[in-house]
Amino acid sequence: MESPHAVLLVVLIATFAISNLVQAEDQEGFISLDCGLAPNEVSPYIEPFTGLRFSSDSSFIQSGKIGRVDKSLEATTLKSYMTLRYFPDGKRNCYNLIVKQGTTYLMRATALYGNYDGLNNSPKFDLYIGANLWTTLDTGISLTGVAKEIIYITRSNSLDVCLVKTDTSTPFLSLLELRPLDNDTYLTSSGSLKKFSRYYLSNSESIIAYPDDVKDRIWESRFESEWKQISTTLKPNNSIGGYFVPQNVLMTAAIPANDSAPFSFTEELDSPTDEIYVYLHFSEVQSLQANESREFDILWSGEVVYEGFSPNYLNITTIKTNTPLTCEDGKCNLGLRRTKNSTLPPFLNAIEFYTVVKFPQLETNGTDVVAIKDIKATYELNRNTWQGDPCVPQKFRWDGLDCNSLDTLTLPRITSLNLSSTGLKGNIAAGIQNLTHLEKLDLSNNNLTGGIPEFLANMKSLTFINLSNNNLNGSIPQALLKREKEGLKLSVDEKTRCFPGSCVTTTKKKFPVMIVALVSSAVVVIVVVLVLIFVFKKKKPSNLEALPPSSNTPRENVTSTSISDTSIETKRKRFSYSEVLEMTKNLQRPLGEGGFGVVYHGDIMGSSQQVAVKLLSQSSTQGYKEFKAEVELLLRVHHINLVSLVGYCDERDHLALIYEYMSNKDLKHHLSGKHGGSVLKWNTRLQIAVDAALGLEYLHIGCRPSMVHRDVKSTNILLDEQFTAKIADFGLSRSFQLGDESQVSTVVAGTPGYLDPEYYRTGRLAEMSDVYSFGIVLLEIITNQRVIDPAREKSHITDWTAFMLNRGDITRIMDPNLHGDYNSRSVWRALELAMMCANPSSEKRPNMSQVVIELKECLRSENKTEGMDSHSSYEQSMSFDTKAVPSAR
């Protein structure tokens, strides 16, 4: 069980004593909050015993009251623990911290009750990170204080740490601390790491922390009667691998008291179902003679997981698990057994145990969070309930808000804002327009002044606005009145709706005259429209030619109509077939061939613009229907990560699409190595994945109606001269409305291997079908394996990857052409994301917005460590389903 962090005993204070020279120069990125620091106290200040720089927490939380430990305890209590902040009001109270997105932090929350309220009741409460439960903090475990630690990767630049009341006792906190860690350490395949125990093996009773540990981890000593201690007076090199285990931790080690016996370490978990990660730290403390050797196997639950390990003299080696472990009945047993080649017994310097905690609930969309906080600041709303995440968990949702957070797989968005009768003053807040998914807005019964802003008309999701009973002036914007006619329900004061001159009262005698005039006008308009329709039916458009059907061209459901008669309208140039022949040099420069037909390289005459011309083949399985679908789609989509349409040809039997030219061909071409150039670097692959994901996100969210591509695959991801990725080939794409119409039945279409199995089974098409296909592409990017390979033991790439993941070694999954040149942290995150996307169940897949966010974090992590050696041979991985020695990371 995680040991409480003792903070009252004099012996503990003594262990933290340091030189005044140390102070706080090595605390870059540290956040150290002294909760409840009195207003008359100096902030920040240097804690005299630890050298840590602490600041008041008052700027990071809007609620709570200040308490102080009982006077009888002050003489034996560190300065930073003397005060606390307690929260008698509200169910949830949250600290909001500014952090660096994508950074790995060690977070520690410490609570020393100290009978500050004279009740001797030892409070118990929950701690949340954002919208997810972190842990329960029970101060009754220890009278000398309790600390909880977690290693967590921040999802944004803002972090909420919340105290949640679970019974009648009052939550409180003494310290809240964050310490940035190297992003290539403490990696998991999923979840965050909650500290269970951290020991250095020594018969000392000292606690080792900052400044000995530059990351401010707290190391407790542990020593068993069946062990014997060995040590050195020399300082080992602890900088290898990025863990920076304190040198004085590595200067002692434990060996079995009986030299011929194995070394055994046992830990019992709080819950037998917990998954854990284990970190073993070794540094040889004895200078071995020529006739001496130390070599041993590492065993877990009696099974060898690492063979023939020899620690390095005065150099750290960290051996860790790269997949989570379980312990039978919650009892974990680590064994070290000397090999036949060894003359000396095995040893261990230090060990860390972490349990896995999953944070499944997505936090509210960042744009919405910024917007609602801006509104909160504009109107100076100090509601106690307006803390933490606005939407989730639903039981703590902010008063006056409704959100679409129905499950843990959908990014919550704010859909309703009700600030009626809340005393609002001033203008209607501009921040409201940034709530782009807002459907209902109620600002009635306030003291709002100024005009009605036009931006309300531009909020396309709004269906209801109530601005009544305010002091607004001016007229209603015409654009908003137009929206009202289209169905928007708008409630305003009569004086606002009837601005001067707009509501003239007429007599009953004049009323029939007005009606007659209106009816007469309407009749005239109708007659004119009918005449125009008749004329245009008799006359063909001058710039487009009517096309009779051809028996040689497979056109579906087409009579003698041209493209213009089938709703395709364009400002892009319509080319004749002779112009197509001219730009392609009589079809002499083929680039490739697809289901539609051959693609040719071309140049538009009179300009330097290069194009790719896709010409419909007479034998193509696709035809006019797909041609029309692709043209119609490309006419209304505009995004840097979608291939743009330059023009088209629709001349009798000749159909062609003219695109911008992508000089670096497609992603599959580069992964295959057929291009003969250099191998795509890992960060380039991640950037390509980000580009493609952004293109799909635009189709799913930026288009109205929404669009599903239906044929996402590596050959349809094209690369320009800068290797910017763009999605192509929209012939199979389908549009549908969001909401209740987010799924439509279609004839199943797509490419085997990439095809969503749920869509194939049900025929129900949705955006998640593209997400599945993208997951397959991402697996291709990571592994460079064929999507379907009958020669493999597991033929489909998802089955093969899952099979290899169970073996736990990333090097067996990654494209061998990369030769290990990648940051394993970004690889694990990308791999986890790919498998989530390719989940057989659409409900368990992320949406493309979530995919974009995660891929950008992967890329940021990779770029941050580019040029650095993140693959030190001194950090090894243990594989727990094979006796083969895993390779170094």
Amino acid 184: pLDDT: 82
- For position 247, what pLDDT does the model report? 97
* pLDDT at 556 (0 to 100): 35
Residue 769's φ and ψ, nearest 5 degrees, are -65, -40
Q: Could you give the 3-state DSSP secondary structure of residue 760?
A: helix
Kindly report the CA angle at 256 between 254 and 262, in degrees rounded to 5? 120
Q: 878 near 298, Cβ under 8 Å?
A: yes
Q: Is the pLDDT of residue 17 over 70?
A: no
With 0-12 CB in 10 A as exposed, 13-18 as middle and 19+ as buried, what is 180?
A: middle
**871: number of CA atoms within 13 Å, CB side?**
17
* Confidence band for 807, pLDDT divided at 50, 70 and 90: low
Mean pLDDT of the chain: 83
Instruction: Say if residue 878's pLDDT is above 60.
Output: no
Cα(861)–Cα(726) distance, integer angstroms: 23
Whether residue 717 is predicted with pLDDT greater than 70 in this model: the reply is yes
pLDDT score of 757 more than 90: no
Tokens at 3, concatenated:
């040991």
User: What pLDDT is attached to residue 876?
Assistant: 58
Distance of CA 802 to the CA centre of its chain: 22
Yes or no: say if 857 and 101 are a contact pair by the CB < 8 Å rule: yes
d(CA 115, CA 849) in angstroms, rounded, equals: 48
Q: What is the DSSP letter of 571?
A: S
Residue 567 pLDDT level (bands cut at 50, 70, 90) = very low
- Strand ranges across the sheet with 464-466: 401-403, 414-418, 440-442, 464-466, 489-491
27 phi and psi angles, rounded to 5 deg: -105, 30
> Residues with Cβ < 8 Å from 561, sequence gap 6 or more?
546, 547
Query: What percent of the chain is predicted at pLDDT more than 70?
Result: 80
pLDDT computed for residue 863 by the predictor: 79
538 is in an annotated binding site: no
Q: Single out the catalytic residue among 711, 756, 809, 815.
A: 711
| Distance in angstroms (rounded) separating the CA atoms of residues 673 and 329 | 50
- pLDDT one-digit tens code per residue, 631-689: 777 777 778 899 888 888 888 778 888 888 988 888 998 887 665 567 899 999 999 99
13 or 494, greater pLDDT: 494
By CB atoms closer than 10 A (0-12, 13-18, 19+), residue 130 is: buried
Residue 868, pLDDT > 90, answer: no
Stretch 745-759: mean pLDDT, rounded?
79
Name the more confident of 741 and 806.
806
Cα–Cα dist 807/594, whole Å: 38
Mean pLDDT within 62-81: 89
**Which pLDDT score, from 0 to 100, does residue 509 have?**
41
How big is the CA angle at 525 (ends 521 and 529), to the nearest 5 degrees? 170
Q: One-letter amino acid identity for 632? A: E
**pLDDT above 50: residue 16:** no
* Cβ count near 650 (within 10 Å): 24
The CA distance from 314 to 247, in Å, is 10
- Range scoring the smallest mean pLDDT among 31-35, 73-77, 184-188, 211-215: 73-77
* Tokens linked to 674: 């057929």
The winner for highest mean pLDDT among 311-315, 550-554, 601-605, 826-830 is: 311-315
Q: Which residues pair with 676 in a beta bridge?
A: none
For residue 752, count CB atoms less than 10 angstroms from its CB and return exposed for 0-12, middle for 13-18, buried for 19 or more. Answer: exposed
Tell me the residue length of the chain.
889
More confident residue, 804 or 594: 804
pLDDT score, position 675:
57
Between 599 and 464, residue with greater pLDDT: 464
Averaged over 79-101, what is the pLDDT? 94
Separation in Å, CA 783 to CA 23, 48, 749, 752: 48, 53, 26, 18
Out of 289-298, 564-573, 688-697, 739-748, which region has the weakest mean confidence (pLDDT)? 564-573
Query: Is there a contact between 647 and 677 (Cβ–Cβ < 8 Å)?
Result: no
Q: Beginning with the edge strand found earlier in the chain, give each strand of the sheet holding 83-86 in spatial order.
A: 65-68, 83-86, 172-173
The answer on pLDDT for 228 being more than 50 is: yes
Let me know if 711 is a catalytic residue.
yes
pLDDT of 864:
67
DSSP, residue by residue, 665-713 = -BHHHHHHTTT-SPPPPHHHHHHHHHHHHHHHHIIIIISSSEEE-S---
pLDDT at 867: 41
Amino acid residing at 265 = F
- Lowest-confidence segment of 99-113, 424-438, 655-669 by average pLDDT: 655-669
- Residues 354-378: pLDDT tens digits? 999 999 888 898 889 999 999 999 9
Q: How far apart are CA 279 and CA 275, in angstroms?
A: 14
pLDDT band at 589 (very low <50, low <70, confident <90, very high): confident
The residue among 235, 312, 327 whose CA lies nearest residue 281 is 312
